[in-house]
Amino acid sequence: MLLARRNLFQERTRFGLSVSGVALAIMLILLLNGFLTGMFRQVTSYLDNSPGSILIGQEGVANLLGATSTLPDGAAARASEVDGVERVVPILSQFVILDLHQKKVPAYMVGYLPQEGGGPWAMAEGREPTADHEVVVDLVLARRHAITIGDSLDILGQPFTITGLSEGSASWMTGFFFVRKTAAEGLLQSPGATSYLLVGLSPDASGEAVRSRLADQPGVDASWKTDAAANDLRLYARFFSAPAKLMVGISFWIGSLVVGLVIYTATVERQREYGVLKAVGAGNATLYSVVVIQAVIAALAGVALGVLLAYGLAEWIMAVRPQFLILLESDDILRALMFGLAMALAAALLPAQMVARLAPAEVFRR
């Protein structure tokens, strides 16, 4: 252990560079995971914060963001007559692309009835819309594009006045904005249309039985909001998991190569000393452990620094780009540690092989 540590720390700059290399690789892995976790949290924010526990969509629709739903006429009235249903909140919702300062900004429009609910769940400033030309925009979206209360916003060719800014409704992929349902009907050329019903149950109702009765209504599907949120997550994960896995894979191998380079160089430089150790009776196992301990120390130091850097950078990114939510969870830290140890073992392979092949007599012949 002492020998491994001394060998590693003898050249401090080299050790520092290697720890930095591993740290950057770990930081990248953590940030990628943090981005995905944060994005997934934001994806379900509407379903997490809107009223009710059941989502009724058009038949075949069990998602919110990933689907377009148009309910049959009278669906809301039929749902409110079902035993066990306490509250039915209709919304008309749809992704739209906003053109803000020469930038294309995907945003999710929610048309709601202010007296029923389903609109913004936390207002940062201003008030909810009281007329069809008024809109509440997500606070982060507004700040990113320097728009504020009183400004005009063009939505699908129609001018709207911003009356409020909502909180907790942002995402780097999309932000929410809220208009009155009648305004959304006009924008989507769908008078009287409803996309979804958010259904709240009576306290004494048997949830699954009510959901089943709602699902039996003609032309609709009824899902638990938690299931609809899980479906949205699955859909988004399908888009992003392949690129993220590719990035994480590349980062892992960069980290392994960085540790490998350092341990290999340190081993080559101490080849004579390893030979002497062999000549005086040290077994291969002892020498392997010297190599592996060096790799583990370098990797663990890199992991520790990488975790700190990831936290620091995540905070900085969220400060300058508030649309990003980067969530670093304890599971991710644990995974980074496992990655670090795996890097150390992969990195120790080549030097360990070299030590194993070393003939003690060669040392004395040189």
Partner 1 sequence: MTRLALRNLFQSKARLVISIGGVALALMLMLSLDAIFAGVEERVVAYINHTGADLFVSQSGVRNLHMASSWMPASVAEQVADRPGVDEATPLLYHSNLVSVGDERSAAYIIGLPPDPAMGGPWSIAAGRTTPGPGEAILDEGIASTTGVGLGDEIRILGRTFEIAGLSEGTATQGGSVVFISQEDFSQLRPGPPVISFVLVRVRPGADVTTVAEDIEAEIGGVTVLSRPAFASEEQKVVRDMGNDIVAIMNIIGFMVGLMVMSLTVYTATLSRRAEYGMLKAVGARNGDLYQTVLTQSLVSVLVGLGIGLGFTLALAAVAPRLDVPLTLVVRPDSVLRVAAASLVIAAVSAILPIRQIRRLDPVMVFRGR
Q: How far is the CB of 133 from partner 1 (least distance, A)?
A: 15
Nearest CA to 58 among 66, 47, 70? 70
The answer to whether residues 90 and 103 touch, using CB atoms and an 8 Å cutoff, is: no
The answer to whether residues 148 and 165 touch, using CB atoms and an 8 Å cutoff, is: yes
Q: How far is the CB of 189 from partner 1 (least distance, A)?
A: 4
DSSP string, 245-275: HHHHHHHHHHHHHHHHHHHHHHHHHTHHHHH
Token reading at 322: 């508030």
Q: Which is nearer to partner 1, 123 or 156 (CB)?
A: 156
Q: Which is nearer to partner 1, 202 or 241 (CB)?
A: 241
Q: How far is the CB of 148 from partner 1 (least distance, A)?
A: 21
φ, ψ for residue 27, nearest 5 deg: -60, -40
Length reported for the chain: 366
Q: How far is the CB of 321 from partner 1 (least distance, A)?
A: 6
Q: Which is nearer to partner 1, 9 or 253 (CB)?
A: 253
Tell me the sheet residues that pair with 105.
98
Q: How far is the CB of 111 from partner 1 (least distance, A)?
A: 13
Distance in angstroms (rounded) separating the CA atoms of residues 208 and 211: 5
* SS3 category, 159: strand
Q: Which is nearer to partner 1, 123 or 257 (CB)?
A: 257
Q: How far is the CB of 188 from partner 1 (least distance, A)?
A: 5
Q: What is the DSSP letter of 192?
A: T
